[in-house]
Structure 1
Amino acid sequence: MLAGLAAAGLTALAGCGPAAPGQATRAGDVRAAGREGEVVVYINNDVHEQLVADFERRFPKVKLRFVVLTARDTQARVIEEAKSGKPVADVVWTSAMDTQVKLINDGYAQTYHSPEARHLPAWARWRDQGFGMTNEPIVFVYNKTLLKPDEVPRSHAALLAALRADPQRWRGKIGLYDPERSGVGFLYLSSDTEVYPDGWALYEAMAAAQARPYVPGKPMLDRVASGEHLLAYDMNGSYADWYVRNYGPERDIGYLVPEDYHLSISRVAFITQAAPHPHAARVFLDYLMSEAGQRRLLEARLTPIRAGLGAAAPSGGRPIRVGPALLANFDQGRREALLARWRAGQASDPR
């Protein structure tokens, strides 16, 4: 009888013990995730496909499916799915930090007290709903053939000085995200002009030099690589790194982290309020925050949010905090004021 009780006790303990390899997800969530069988993740790029094999090896009963959308399409689809009562997304994970915070604030996310969230810095967590998974610097990309090493602006101040000293040299030679049509472009404009005292002077100098605005990033980098532009301003360092590794050796382009300061963004994830597979969503979120998941992100050339993995984040970072301050970007009065000043610079006489 004692042996039977001992066996029963061990079975009960096994049922309560950790069932997620390498992460602290609660065993009940892992078992329920296996019954759900799938987790659908909306993302705004396709650099995460290599996560699939590792995640599904760890959780063979859960299929991981990514759906690649633009940040704006993701926002529209999440809202429409909630209205129709026919949700598809379990997790939304994008680099459009302000849009993510807006969706969370408007009630499209559910709360999850993740046992892995303690590994994230305070600025990357909000209300146990939004979780920043990376810590990515915003960089300058430049043409290494056309700009000699001593000509490359290595800070915002150096770029402003170069534009003022020789505006003709830079005329039409800078690309940047369009803050009117690109969500990330507006985020950068808003953050730069808040953080950098000469932010507006720099944007106005770029406008006077007829800097060209873009929505997607690749055409901008293609034009830097071809020599049509000398520099791409405010580019996600992870994307710049991917582009340089794939195209740089043959086109001789490079990137640098500005020395005076750099914005630092995080890819924010949340579980949708009506997630069809909520337990699988928890397992996936914990995987992203776990050491194993963070190492996979590092292999994908994304700067992990957890400390102590890989190279240290470059100094001078100004992290854009996951939280309510980003809601100011949706204040129509503030937004129109920022864009009006942007438009005024674009419309000014370039001479």
Structure 2
Amino acid sequence: MKTDRRHLLLGLAGAGVSACAGEPDGVATAPRVRWLARREGGLHILTNTSLMGPVLAAFQRRWPEIAVRLEDINSTLIANRVQSRAASGLEGPDLVWSTAMDVQVKLINDGYAQVYRSPHRAAMPDGSVWRDQAFGVTAEPVVFAYNRRRLPSEIVPRSHAQLLERLSTDADRFFRRVTLYDAERSGVALLQLSADIQIYPDAWALMTALGSTHPRADTSGQRMMGQLAEGRMAFAYNMNQSYGASWVARAPDIGLVTPEDYHLSVSRVAFIPRNAAHPNAARLFLDFLLSREGQRIIAGLGVRPARDDILTERRASIPGARPVRVGPALLANLDQARREALLQRWRAAMQAAERAPDDPRAP
């Protein structure tokens, strides 16, 4: 199938829609919805994102009447749970929040989500909300990670083009020292692969060069960053910046590079299932996530929030961002013929890769 840039990325998301002067303060949820949320008294969240703890703690301080239950499982299990409970006529989870943008959009497109017009909708940038059902809560750069002892500063690649050059001119330094997510087993990795090949003309040459290093293809960010910290690996390709930063804080040998030619910007997408058991509590929590308060808490965790008006100088947008927009273009990733064509080329490029064991918590 011929690749069409419009399938996934429509260039930069643009300056977006900045917060309007009349945006209400606080969560701004309608009084009746807040009253019903208290009556419901519960909130069940399915997620594959690890940043929930401080956000949930702040929400519960404000709404102690609502008991929150969190399940952290991978995106495939999330989709199966949403689909199976709806098919059986059972109540579903109340909010689904996942890094697998295409899987989230597919569930919404297939009718598993309900519409909610958040009072903070006008403050959200273009490309971050779709049909008032899918809400991109973050806008996170995808970066390179490396071990400072294994890769001296003058060797660290600063762009995709420079990485391709380094893999050719300094191959021994990278041999069996590269780790990357397994696109065949990780939905997030397949999403990033699809984006890379649409943006970077030499993406397949880069994949072949990465494969020639006999890399470790993994599904566990925990393992990947752990091996990088220990020095068993020298370089990790396409790592979520906020996750990488959490490791830098405790492993000083790890460094991060935002590629200078371009970098993907991805979102953690949330939606409220149509059969949510506590839909009003879900609306209240979603409004909290999108509010200035919720977005500031997310920013305080070292994660770039979706809203441009929350950004400080320290977290300002980095040049070269290529946002993956929340919307129907993501469905192209799940077209079976296109998916198989992508994976066939990826397998060919990665013939020499070591395949790490599966991780049921992988994104």
TM-score by length of 2: 0.87
Structure 2 equivalent of residue 302 of structure 1:
303
Distance 1:238 1:169 in 2: 27
Structure 2 equivalent of residue 5 of structure 1:
none
Structure 2 equivalent of residue 231 of structure 1:
235
Q: 1:241 is aligned with what amino acid?
A: A
Find the partner of 1:171 among 175, 187, 191: 175
Task: Please give the residue correspondences for 1:92-103 in structure 2 after superposition, counting only pairs within 5 Å.
Answer: 92-103=96-107
Verify: 1:330 aligned to 2:334, yes or no: yes
User: Identity of paired residues, percent?
Assistant: 47
Structure 1 equivalent of residue 285 of structure 2:
284
Find the partner of 2:245 among 235, 241, 245: 241
Can you give the 5+ residue segments of structure 1 that lack an aligned partner in the other structure? 1-19
User: Cα offset for 1:45?
Assistant: 2.9
8 Å contact kept, 1:30–1:283: yes
Q: 1:205 is aligned with what amino acid?
A: A
User: Cα offset for 1:348?
Assistant: 7.0
**What SS does the aligned partner of 2:308 have?**
coil
Structure 2 equivalent of residue 13 of structure 1:
none
Distance 1:64 1:344 in 2: 45
User: Cα offset for 1:24?
Assistant: 1.8
Distance 1:297 1:321 in 2: 20
Q: 2:286 is aligned with what amino acid?
A: L
**What SS does the aligned partner of 1:49 have?**
helix
The alignment covers a number of residue pairs equal to: 327
Distance 1:25 1:328 in 2: 34
Distance 1:307 1:47 in 2: 20
**What SS does the aligned partner of 1:164 have?**
helix
Q: 2:280 is aligned with what amino acid?
A: H
Of residues 299-308 and 232-241 in structure 1, the stretch that sits farther from structure 2 once superposed is 299-308
Can you give the 5+ residue segments of structure 2 that lack an aligned partner in the other structure? 1-23, 354-363
Give CA deviations for 1:192-249 in whole Å, capped at 9, x if unaligned. 1111111111001111121221011111111111222110000001110111113x13
Of residues 106-115 and 59-68 in structure 1, the stretch that sits farther from structure 2 once superposed is 59-68
Distance 2:272 2:122 in 1: 18
User: Cα offset for 1:21?
Assistant: 6.9
Question: Relative contact order: is structure 1 or structure 2 higher (C-alpha 8 Å, sep ≥ 6)?
Answer: 2
Distance of aligned partners of 1:160 and 1:64 in 2 relative to their CA distance in 1, 3 Å threshold: same
Distance 1:38 1:116 in 2: 23
Q: 1:332 is aligned with what amino acid?
A: Q
Structure 2 equivalent of residue 14 of structure 1:
none
8 Å contact kept, 1:297–1:304: yes
Verify: 1:71 aligned to 2:72, yes or no: no
Q: 2:35 is aligned with what amino acid?
A: R
8 Å contact kept, 1:44–1:70: yes
Distance 1:127 1:234 in 2: 29
**What SS does the aligned partner of 2:350 have?**
helix
8 Å contact kept, 2:86–2:92: no
Give CA deviations for 1:57-98 in whole Å, capped at 9, x if unaligned. 222322232211111111111111112222241000011101
User: Cα offset for 1:23?
Assistant: 2.1
Find the partner of 1:343 among 321, 326, 347: 347
Verify: 1:316 aligned to 2:330, yes or no: no
Structure 2 equivalent of residue 16 of structure 1:
none
Structure 2 equivalent of residue 22 of structure 1:
26
8 Å contact kept, 1:130–1:269: yes
Give CA deviations for 1:130-170 in whole Å, capped at 9, x if unaligned. 00000100011100112111111011111001011122221
Verify: 1:122 aligned to 2:126, yes or no: yes
8 Å contact kept, 1:25–1:116: no
Structure 1 equivalent of residue 223 of structure 2:
219
Structure 1 equivalent of residue 276 of structure 2:
275
Of residues 290-299 and 308-317 in structure 1, the stretch that sits farther from structure 2 once superposed is 308-317
RMSD, aligned CA: 1.5
**What SS does the aligned partner of 1:308 have?**
helix
Task: Please give the residue correspondences for 1:110-149 in structure 2 after superposition, counting only pairs within 5 Å.
Answer: 110-149=114-153
Q: 2:304 is aligned with what amino acid?
A: T
User: Cα offset for 1:55?
Assistant: 0.9
TM-score by length of 1: 0.90
Distance of aligned partners of 1:98 and 1:216 in 2 relative to their CA distance in 1, 3 Å threshold: same
